[in-house]
Structure 1
Amino acid sequence: MLDPGSNRELPPIPAKRYFTIGEVSELCDVKPHVLRYWETEFPSLEPAKRRGNRRYYQRHDMLMIRQIRSLLYEQGYTIGGARLRLDGADARGEAALSQQIIKQVRVELEEVLQLLRR
């Protein structure tokens, strides 16, 4: 399970096309070695690899990582159970991903609103 110090809310995902493993690690509150391990366990998580085998994650990868993190750390799934849940591609999995997207958009809109109020 997740340690109690990490029960904070995740920061919003910046409007960028590609993210390095370090940036993803900070934005998703998951260590880089865990991200590399998850790539071997979850076939749908496949970042682009460029020169020197460097990983570049896109927004959909970040949402997938946050969903995996939620299943494993917050909902208590095992790796196998989380894999089945994600590979099942049922409506509830898509609904959870949609909820994450909606939450992300809401946070970004609140930030824009705060900037406009200044």
Structure 2
Amino acid sequence: MEKALPSIPAKRYFTIGEVSDLCGVKPHVLRYWEQEFTQLRPMKRRGNRRYYQHHEVLMIRRIRDLLYDQGFTISGARNKLQELVQGERDRRRAGEVMLEGVEVIEVEDSGFGDFEDSVPAEDREFVSEKLSLVRRELFEIRDLLSPAY
């Protein structure tokens, strides 16, 4: 039985050693994957030290899953990752909301029930529309702030 990977801490940058521990792969494997997967480009600072961002750690976990768990070859994983990234870009361009890793909260489950009950019946539709607009804008802001691969 495979051991679950640890959760990713809320940090801006991770060293190669930290990423190695978080993703369950050796540092030399990470350096090799940088050559094979063009989407994987950690920032390099003094002495060529690598610093990975959160989205890169997620990408490494995805690559690891494709190679180790799903049995893809390097070439196959590269193609599959490109398909996944292109699919995400297409959905963003089409205006679809990306919800991967995000819990969806519906208005009726969000604690607004008491609030909506206090609104006069003739205004409920208006309030519901406004809440939907705010929710949509928040998703758009999240998408703008999420990293592009």
Q: If the TM-score is normalised by the length of the shorter chain, which range does it land in?
A: 0.7 to 0.9
TM-score by length of 2: 0.58
Partner of 1:110: none
Structure 1 residue aligned with 2:57, among 54, 62, 84?
Answer: 62
Q: Which structure would you say has the larger RCO, counting Cα contacts within 8 Å and 6 or more residues apart?
A: 1
**Using the alignment, how far apart are the partners of 1:60 and 1:38 within structure 2?**
15
Q: Secondary structure at the match of 2:14?
A: coil
Partner of 1:41: 36
Q: Secondary structure at the match of 1:69?
A: helix
Can you list the C-alpha shifts for 1:2-22, whole angstroms capped at 9, x where unaligned?
xx6xx1111000000000000
Q: Given residue 85 of structure 1, which amino acid in structure 2 is its aligned partner?
A: K
With over 3 angstroms needed to count, the CA separation of the structure-2 counterparts of 1:28 and 1:76, relative to structure 1, is same
Instruction: Give the superposed CA RMSD.
Output: 2.5
**Using the alignment, how far apart are the partners of 1:73 and 1:24 within structure 2?**
17
Q: 5+ residue gaps in structure 2?
A: 91-97, 104-149
Aligned residues: 96
**Using the alignment, how far apart are the partners of 1:72 and 1:84 within structure 2?**
12
Partner of 1:116: none
TM-score by length of 1: 0.73
**Using the alignment, how far apart are the partners of 1:102 and 1:84 within structure 2?**
26
Q: Given residue 50 of structure 1, which amino acid in structure 2 is its aligned partner?
A: R
Q: 5+ residue gaps in structure 1?
A: 104-118
With over 3 angstroms needed to count, the CA separation of the structure-2 counterparts of 1:84 and 1:9, relative to structure 1, is same
Q: Percent of aligned pairs with the same residue?
A: 63
Larger Rg computed on CA atoms: 2
Counterpart mapping for 1:5-44 below 5 A: 7-44=2-39
Counterpart mapping for 1:73-84 below 5 A: 73-84=68-79
**Using the alignment, how far apart are the partners of 1:51 and 1:90 within structure 2?**
33
Deviation, 1:87, is 1.4
Tell me whether 1:91 sits opposite 2:82 in the alignment.
no
